[in-house]
Amino acid sequence: MAVEQTRPYELGVYAQDLDPSTVMITVDNSSWSRPKRLPLSYLDTTGGTGGTHIEKDRLTGLSSRTVTVEFGIAFTSIPVGDVKCYRMYEQPDGTFQKQDVIWGFPDANQPTLAGFTLDISTDESLTGIVVEYSYM
């Protein structure tokens, strides 16, 4: 029996009339001996993957003690994540370490669906401060 192989552009278009968890797509990795399948439901149809919305960044060169971040896309429920605010300092042996900076949220309702705001203490210099956040 001969196997007929076709190119993806030669195939019919999927009409999206089936449950996405029953439709499989092929994925491959050079470390696998064979390709594997992935349910279409693992892909977010809004452009993300795995249905997970992630907002993250690393902010430097701050010019204000109040940092306001607006997420690129608003979340549908309050996101889970973390904010880190620090500066790097050189230790006596020449290595560097993160040094926490005094900061806080202006209220208990942070983050919101659309972003968050934080305030850096007036006891801190803005020089070298790094703000990292990651929410999903």
Residues 75-121 have pLDDT tens digits of 888 999 999 999 999 999 999 999 999 999 999 999 999 999 999 99
Q: What is the mean pLDDT of residues 28-47?
A: 73
pLDDT the model gives residue 85: 97
Is residue 67 a part of any domain in this protein?
Answer: yes
Residue 60 resides in a domain: yes
Q: Confidence band (pLDDT; 50, 70, 90) for 26?
A: confident
106 vs 29, higher pLDDT:
106
Task: Say how many domains are in the chain.
Answer: 1
Indicate whether this model's pTM tops 0.75. no
Q: pLDDT-derived band of residue 43, with 50, 70 and 90 as boundaries?
A: low
Residue 81 maps to a domain: yes
* Closest by Cα among 49, 134, 21, 18 to 84: 134
Residue 82 lies in a domain: yes
Residues with Cβ within 8 Å of 9's Cβ and at least 6 positions away in sequence, in order, are none
Among the listed residues 97, 105, 95, the one whose alpha carbon sits nearest the alpha carbon of residue 130: 97
Q: What is the pLDDT of residue 51?
A: 54
CA-closest candidate to residue 104, choices 88, 132, 83: 83
Q: What is the pLDDT of residue 12?
A: 74
Tell me what the pLDDT averaged over the chain comes to. Answer: 86
Domain that holds residue 107: 55-135
Q: Is the pLDDT of residue 49 over 50?
A: no
